[in-house]
Structures are given as structure tokens and as C-alpha cells.
Chains A and B, each alone.
Chain A
Amino acid sequence: MAIDWLAIAPEVALTVTALLVLAADLALRGDAKQLVNPLAMIGTVVAIVFAVVLWAEAPRVAFEGQYVVDSFAVAFKLLFLGTLLAILAISARYFAEGRYFQGEYYFLLLTAFIGMLLMPSARDLLVLFIALETVSVPAFVMVGMRKRDLYSSEAALKFFLIGVLSAALMLFGMSMVYGFTGTTRLEGIAQALAGDAGSVPLLLGSVMLVIVGFGFKISAVPFHFWAPDTYAGSPLPVAAMLAVASKAAGFAGLLTIAFVAFEPVADVWAPVLGVLAILTMTLGNLVALQQRDLIRLLAYSSIAQAGYMLIPFGLARPGAEVVNQAAVRAVLFYLIAYAVMNVGAFAVAIGVNRRTGERSIRDYAGLGTRSPLLALAMTVFLLSLGGAPLTVGLWAKFAIIEAVAVEVTVFGLVMASFLVVNSVIAFFYYLRVIREIWFEPAAAEAPRLQPALSLSVVVVVLMVGTILLGVLPGLVADPTVVTTFATGG
């Protein structure tokens, strides 16, 4: 059996980079250890080049149908690699100044991203499980990296226990699915579900258990409560990784498993996920209103955003090709928009937090005078997260409404109205931060901020991206229109 190396080229590039980073960290001493960051960036750029090449080569089927590189998968890979590049840039100063374990951190980060790259391509329960764990296990460690910080070790423990528990629930579901269908290939499961196996209660329960495992990764209610504590306790770049990349990986896995394997029983899981969508966004927004710490506010806002992204799942129906494809595209577009604005918001938070340790919303008073660049960028990102006009956030919400409108149902309209109401609520807390930034005087002793060059570049690029995509959403929306699931061999 020949191995299709091109199909896994981005993953191989990241693997080689991760091992090089580890070796370089051993060889370098003292301040020279900072060099592992550019090394990791070069590896990421190589992986991006391979992913772009794969875009033209898609679809490819490798490893006997376990692994499929279609336009859906490549779009996700580009999203992950772009996020990785941004996170590497905002990590550089944070980890170099904090004197953390730099080499180990970048190695773990790259390993987690290998798992993410696998996720949208996996067409087998076993590969999906390994991909999910490859994202989770390094993340458990990275969260606890501020070793002497009580919050960090508490965050790591909570994240770890919830993570392994949800993995165990998911595995029990997967084992039952295997027992009924006799295969772990997603295609084979779909065929078996389309037959008479699709009506056994135990099997339907197992399908829900499998979905639970991904519900943890995307922090959907009722598996959300780890997210604020974990984000708040972990090093800030890690929080950005968890809020954006890890969540996107969860969505990639959930999309694949829901729309490839469990599509024939969509009428069972779609209403459940739809109700979860409503609960998730409402709860996330209501609790976000109470927050005083910016990271926790962003965490609850990211829970609410996950709720918005669950809406298209609630629309799915077995056999309804048009509706399902529109749903997949809406989630993908929303994730891209979400990554741009949320990484940006975390980048600003890191810039403000540097040296000063400031992180509560009150500390952002007078940011407009202390660092006009960061203040402007934060305003743009927060407005975009809220869904203001001229930002990509508005189009992201519009994409979801569009998916609802493909085939109007009562349930779809209910979810859409919750989306609108929640967007209005969300503006309250985003605007509260913006008012603090521009209209409150800075504390007398507050120093001017000097963000690192790499961080400033990321902030500017993402801010421009937010506005550019807000004016011309077609730049991303048009390529994502062609993304589809290719069938495994």
C-alpha cells in the first residue's frame, strides 16, 4: 500500500517542525531559546504552502478512505494554520518575558495543531478520536503551564477532568455505534444508519453520546462551565488557542461526524442541537453581562458564539442535500469570521496585560490615550463580535440567517429570532468595554503601553481583515461556497 504523502503533507510539515523545535530547545541556552518561535513560524508557513497546493489537488482519498482531503478539509486546515501563525506571533513576547518553558510550549502547541489538521479530514471514528485527543492532551498541559499560579493549576485540573470524562462518554457511544454497524468508517456507519438500524433506541442514544464528546470541545451548554475558568487561569495565548483553534477543531469534528456519519438520523439530533444552540447563546450572553474580568467576558462571549454556530446544526434534515450543505457553509464562514475577530481581541488583551498584569475591564479605562492602536483595534474586534455593520461579524450572523432561509421552518425561525435577540443583549457588554476604553479617564499611574512588534502586526492585520471582510465578504464567502464533503473510497 503506497502512502499518499501529499495528502498528509501539512501534518508532516508540522510534525517535523515540532520535533525540530524540541531539538532546538535542547541545543539553545538562555535568551537564544527565543529562536524556537521563528523556527515554528517557518514550519507553519511551509505547512500553509502545502495546504494551498492541496486546495488545487482536492479531493484526495488516502489511507483506504480513513482520510479525505476535500475542499471542506483544506478550508479548515488553512483556518487552523492561519490561527497558528497568529498565536505564534502573540506568544513570542509573552513566553520569552515570562521565562516559561518556551521549547516545550511550542512543541505542545504544534502537536495540538497536528490533531486539529487531522480533524476535518478524518473519516473514521478511530482517527477522529485520536485527532481529538491529540488536540486535548497537549492543551491540558499548556493550561497548567503557569505552574506556581493557583488559578492555572486549578484551571488545568478542571479542564482535564471534564476533558477525560467527556472523552469516556464519547467512547462509550462510539463503541455502541461500532457494535451496531460493524465498522468505524463514517461512510459505512451512514449506510447502516440509513437501513433499519437507524431506529434502535440504544443506537440513537449512542449517537447523542458521541455528539456530547464534541459538545465539550466547543463548550456548548451543559458542557460549558470549564471554559471561563480554564481561559482565565491559563496563559493568555493558550486561552486564545482554546477559544479559537480548539473550538474550531471541535466544530470540524462535529460537522464531519454529524453530516457524514449521522446524517441519516439527523431528525433525531438536529432538534437537540437546536435547543442546545438556544440555551448556549442565551446563557453565555446573560452570564457575560455579569463579568468584570475581560478574559472571562471573552470566554462567556465565546460560549455565546458557539451557540450561534450550533444553529445551522438545528436545521439539518436527513436527505435534504441543499439545507445541509448551506448549514455546513454557514458554520464554516462563521468560524473564519470568529477566528479573525476573537484572536484579535485576545491579542489586544495580551498587549494590555504585558508587564502591567492588567486584565479586569476597569483596567481598560483610558486605553484610548494609553495606546490608540490597541484601543482602536479592540473597538473594532468587539463591535465585530457583536455584529456591527461594516465588520465581518455582521456577515457571519447574516450567513446563519441565510442558512435558516434556505428552507423556512418554524423551529428555524425560532432559532433565528433568538439569534437576533441575543445579538442585541451582547452589544450591552461589548459596548460597556468600549465605553471604558474611550470615555473613562485612565488611572493616574497607568503607564503607556508598548506592544511588541509581532503583536502589533497581528493586531493590525486582523483589524484590517475584520473591516475588509466586512466590506467585501465575498473574499472568503465565495471560496467557502464550493466547499463540500467528498465521499471516502
Chain B
Amino acid sequence: MSPLGPLLLAALLFSIGVYGVIARRNAVLVLMSVELMLNAVNINLVAFQNLLFPAELAVSGQMFALFIIGVAAAEVGVGLAIVFNLFRNRATVNVDDVDLMRW
């Protein structure tokens, strides 16, 4: 199996995530788009590990993917708490309404 398929899928998911970050204004949806980008990274890592370096002893690629999953879960937890707190204060979660400070 060629690594091209997974790598191109990852590049596509990453680009979709970038689109979401730019185009969405709801903070939760922006966070979801970032998750798509992180998942693209995981596809890259697993594809490299299993298709190019299957014999590597330290299993760095898959291990990296596992750690990213763990960190992403932590980030989502904290992020949703931040968004929730903002919502209680402002009754909005739109990124472009969050503009008290400029310059």
C-alpha cells in the first residue's frame, strides 16, 4: 500500500480544518475544526509509522499519535470550559463578537 492515499487524505482534512477555523464564527465550531487538523496529523503519523518505518523499536509515530489524542482531549475540556464561562458572561460564543480589546 502506498502512503500517498493516507497522506493526501490527511492534507485534505488539514485544509478543511483551516477553512473551518477561518470561516466559522462560533467558538465551539472553530474548536471542532482544530480537532480535524489534529486528526490529520494523527493520520500522517500512523501512516508513516506503519507504511515506512514498521520496524522502528521505539514506535515513535504511533506513540506520538497517542499522546496527541490525550493532549487534544485535555485541550477540548479546557476550551469548552473557557467558552462556557464566556457564554455566561456575554451570552455569545461568536469569535467576532469577542472584541472589547483592539489596539
Q: Please list the residues of chain A having a beta carbon within 8 angstroms of any beta carbon in chain B.
A: 125-126, 129-130, 133, 137, 140-141, 144, 147-151, 153-158, 160-161, 164-165, 167-169, 171-172, 174-176, 178-179, 182-184, 228-229, 232-233, 287, 290
Contact = CB atoms under 8 A, between A and B. Distances in A.
Interface majority SS on A: helix, strand, loop or mixed? Answer: helix
Given A168-B37, A172-B41, A154 B86 contact: yes
Contact of A153 (B21, B41, B74, B82): B82
B9 interface: no
B16 interface: no
B63 interface: yes
B60 A157 contact: no
A126 B63 contact: yes
B79 A160 contact: yes
A149 B89 CA distance: 8
Interface in B1-38: 3, 7, 14, 17, 21, 27, 30-31, 34, 37-38
Ranked 10 nearest A-B pairs via Cβ: A175-B44, A168-B37, A179-B48, A153-B86, A229-B101, A171-B41, A184-B60, A182-B53, A156-B82, A175-B41
Contacts of B67: 126, 129-130
Given A147-B85, A160-B79, 10 more contacts: A140-B79, A151-B101, A157-B27, A157-B83, A161-B30, A167-B75, A175-B48, A178-B64, A184-B64, A229-B101
A42 B78 CA distance: 29
A160 B76 CA distance: 10
Contacts of B68: 129, 171
B78 A137 contact: yes
Nearest to B87: A153
A137 B56 contact: no
Contact of B44 (A137, A179, A228): A179
Nearest to B14: A172
B12 to A, nearest CB: 13
A154 B37 CA distance: 24
A156 B95 CA distance: 12
B26 to A, nearest CB: 12
B82 A178 contact: no
A41 B2 CA distance: 55
A164 B79 contact: yes
B78 A160 contact: yes
